[in-house]
Amino acid sequence: MPEFVHIAVQDYLSALNGPEDGLLQEVRARALADGVPAISPDTGRLLDVLAASSAPGRILEIGTGYGSSGMHLASALAPGGMLFTIERDPARAAIARQHFERAGLASRVSVMVGEAARLVHKVAGPFDLILQDGPKDLYEPLLDRLVGLLRPGGVLVSDNILWQGDVMPGFRSEPAHSAESSAIISRYSQRLAADPRLSTVFLPVGDGVAVSARRDGGAS
């Protein structure tokens, strides 16, 4: 992963953010070994803070993976709250369930196995917080649905908006991703930035994170 801010600044801030707890480190290592993507530790801290600031009762996640981000999110749920997390791959979903169990979070997490494009229509809003970390070609097609599922003032977090730098022409000599996928992410970010239903900030945390708050009247 290329550095988007000076390495010394990155290291200084990451040290202040502190290490993840032992189970999160273990889950991240397992994901890395199996080639399963996981949010960065600093993005995890961002999720901790966003979630803790609103004591969410209902959170939706697109893209469970092995459960790293879901563990951050579910830990901050208000009493009685639920995380609904969507994963297409049944094997990954099963492993994520094991991790939620070990973290003592199983009763607060519903892992939904199947296609995100279908399952986002099976859940009912409103949600306090939504993490979009699923397939990038679904970011834009699902945006209206996800905004409609957010409560006014609710927050949509979109990961990978820097796409390892590939969204910035010339940033890398050897792009890590296809030009098509980079164009998809760029277009999505432009759309977020221009969306009058949302107030969005783009942050160089991890692989780039967009944090969008739904203004009143954002339902579609």
Residues that bind ligand SAM (CB under 6 A): 36-39, 63-69, 86-89, 92, 115-116, 133-135
Place of tokens 């990954």: 92
Q: Under DSSP, is residue 107 helix (H, G, I), strand (E, B) or coil? A: helix
Q: How far is the CB of 72 from ligand SAM (least distance, A)?
A: 8
Distance CA 148, CA 87 (A): 21
Q: How far is the CB of 75 from ligand SAM (least distance, A)?
A: 14
Question: Residue 28 is encoded by which pair of tokens?
Answer: 């991240």
Residue nearest ligand SAM (C-beta atom) = 65
Nearer to ligand SAM, 134 or 154 (CB): 134
Q: How far is the CB of 73 from ligand SAM (least distance, A)?
A: 9
Q: How far is the CB of 112 from ligand SAM (least distance, A)?
A: 9
Nearer to ligand SAM, 3 or 89 (CB): 89
Nearer to ligand SAM, 75 or 197 (CB): 75
What is each CA distance from 37 to 33, 133, 134, 220, in whole angstroms?
10, 10, 10, 31
For residue 51, how many C-alpha atoms fall within 13 Å in the half-sphere facing its CB?
27
Nearer to ligand SAM, 63 or 218 (CB): 63
% helix, strand, coil for the chain, step of 5: 45, 20, 35
